Structure 1
Amino acid sequence: MDSKKLKANLETLKKKIPKKPKTKLPVYPKNISESLQLYLRHRTIDVMRYACWIYDEHNWPLPLYVNPAKIKIGYLNEFMFTKLGMNDFKYFDLFGGLRLKIDEAFEMPRNIITRCMWLLRYHKRKKLEYFDYLIVPLICRFFGVTNISTFNIELFNENYDYLSLKIIENQILQEKRDIVKEIFANFKKGRYASCITSIYPILDFLTRRYFDTKDFGKDMVSVNAMFKAAGFGEQEIDNLKPGAATRKLMVLLTKNEISRAEYKVLSEKHEHGLGFAGMALSSFLTFSNQYYGYYRSEKGDADVLNRHSILHGANNDFGTKINAIKLITYLYLTLELEPVLKILFKNK
């Protein structure tokens, strides 16, 4: 499969993303598969984008394993959401804007402390729904309440039974069920190194299934190379997130580094219109590039979760709970992306 075909398949995927309806929908998609039939509101996309930037920065894949029928994120996290979660777009800019790497310090809006105190005392959010739980990392980042790894560990623990069952019972993994069960058995017993290394062949197996081939050459490394050949380097991968390119171009526009005409042209060029699928795909590829990065020699960052360094014995400290959770989260994301990746990898 060449880069030209991948670009064509991206256009095919784009055409499958539902447009905004004229009237408000009673329901929204609860997973990636449903997002190819149901429109996902812009407010949720905005939350996802800012949260995804935080996850990217800390080498975490997007956690999509929360049960939509019974959202559980932990008592403290839910308390923060209830007291500080906000629907207004300007607050997303306030929280999420801290992530943007600009030279000058972030300028706090006027009366922000007063606003926050009012929210703490009087603001009451309705119960969690859809992907509202992704607001919590934004709140954590803004107020410095907890770090992203702490949040993800609690989120994972709260949803462990649901996500483990979803992975074990996934139809595409039926012939690998015993291995998958062993992965979770090792995790429960604290054998994190065994858990991590057992996931490797599962990920390669999934890639071959999505490519519809038995060729061992079709693995996650080849996926990264394929996207890179199609012009999706690190910057373009980030722009797969809806609104990411526009948000960054807006910063340049406000600094008078580009004209309004240039802003319009560049926005149209770099916005891919892939909705929820683009958000998940961007997270998937960003983590893949870091995890499957190729090193020719040992490096000092031995604590970084990298498959190549682990296989060559350059990493002695990879067997941690955090790394195991990262890789299980990545496995879940890969399974969730099945309908998207099958479209992108179609070679006929």
Structure 2
Amino acid sequence: MLIKGLNCVIPRRLNVFLKKMADCGWFVPNFDTISGKEINVLISYLYSNQIDEIDKYFIKYFKENYERLKDIIIEKYINRKVILIEAFESFEAQRFYSAIVLFLTQIDGICYDYFGEKFFLNDPKNNYKPKVFPKIRKTLLEQHHFTLGSIEQKTPINMHQSELNRWVVYLNRHEIIHGIDIDFGNELNAYKILSMIAYLTKIIEGFCFFK
């Protein structure tokens, strides 16, 4: 699969950036058009512990692109259209608990539809990376593997709950789905989960739609 219009950011630098943003709970669907200057600013926020500034940046991006992303996601996964419409309606009605749970279940299902593995199933034989990761990686040309920085490692959303105490950002799928976390239902977390679907859709679509 060929990336179309990838910005001339150094691959290793972009890979590290994607990893760092995923550690903060953000999966970056506009990675092919984000500028080097924006990357520098966001990384500086991370190292100065200004996580709220990172959140402001991505919330602004998703608010400005919300309707377009919603239409793309709903039409892309036609077999999941009814569920996704309900998830977005819940989001828009500020029923964030419902929206987040629905989005999380669909992330697993979307990966299963396209790659035969659930996203939130980790592989103990491969440093507990998502089991789906090698299959996603095979869909890309080798020179584009660096764009998978968001999912080539464990991040707070998919790691074991015993590891979460060392992370600044606390948003974990297992604790949400199994009823341990009862405070996850807010706008910020809903946008973070939406970012996961948008990022995965970008990978599946060959990066054509998200500019």
SS at match of 1:61: coil
- 8 Å Cα contact 1:193-1:319 kept in structure 2: yes
CA distance in 2, matches of 1:338, 1:315: 30
Aligned equivalent of 2:87: 183
Relative distance call for 1:232 and 1:40 in structure 2 (3 A) is farther
Aligned equivalent of 1:304: 170
Unmatched runs of 5 consecutive residues or more in structure 2: 134-140, 207-211
CA distance in 1, matches of 2:63, 2:197: 16
SS at match of 1:132: coil
Note the 1:72-83 alignment, pairs <5 A: none
Aligned equivalent of 1:329: 195
Aligned equivalent of 1:284: 151
Runs in 1 of length 4+ with deviation above 6 angstroms? 143-146, 298-301
Structure with the larger RCO, 1 or 2 (CA within 8 Å, 6+ apart): 2
- 1:141-178 deviation line (CA, Å, top 9, x unaligned): 548797110100001111111111110110xx111101
Aligned equivalent of 2:101: 197
- 8 Å Cα contact 1:54-1:137 kept in structure 2: no
- TM-score, reference length from structure 1: 0.47
1:314 aligns with 2:180: yes
CA distance in 2, matches of 1:50, 1:308: 25
Unmatched runs of 5 consecutive residues or more in structure 1: 1-32, 66-129, 213-217, 238-272, 341-348
Note the 1:91-106 alignment, pairs <5 A: none
Amino acid at match of 2:156: Q
CA distance in 2, matches of 1:324, 1:183: 10
1:229 aligns with 2:101: no
CA distance in 1, matches of 2:36, 2:98: 30
1:174 aligns with 2:73: no
- 1:160-212 deviation line (CA, Å, top 9, x unaligned): 11111110110xx1111011111111111111111000113212221221234
Give the CA deviation at 1:46. 5.8
Relative distance call for 1:186 and 1:44 in structure 2 (3 A) is farther
Amino acid at match of 2:170: V
Tell me how many residue pairs correspond in the alignment: 193
- TM-score, reference length from structure 2: 0.73
1:139 aligns with 2:41: yes
Which of 1 and 2 has greater Rg? 1
Aligned equivalent of 1:219: 118
- Percent of aligned positions with the same letter in both sequences? 20
Aligned equivalent of 1:156: 62
Amino acid at match of 1:284: I
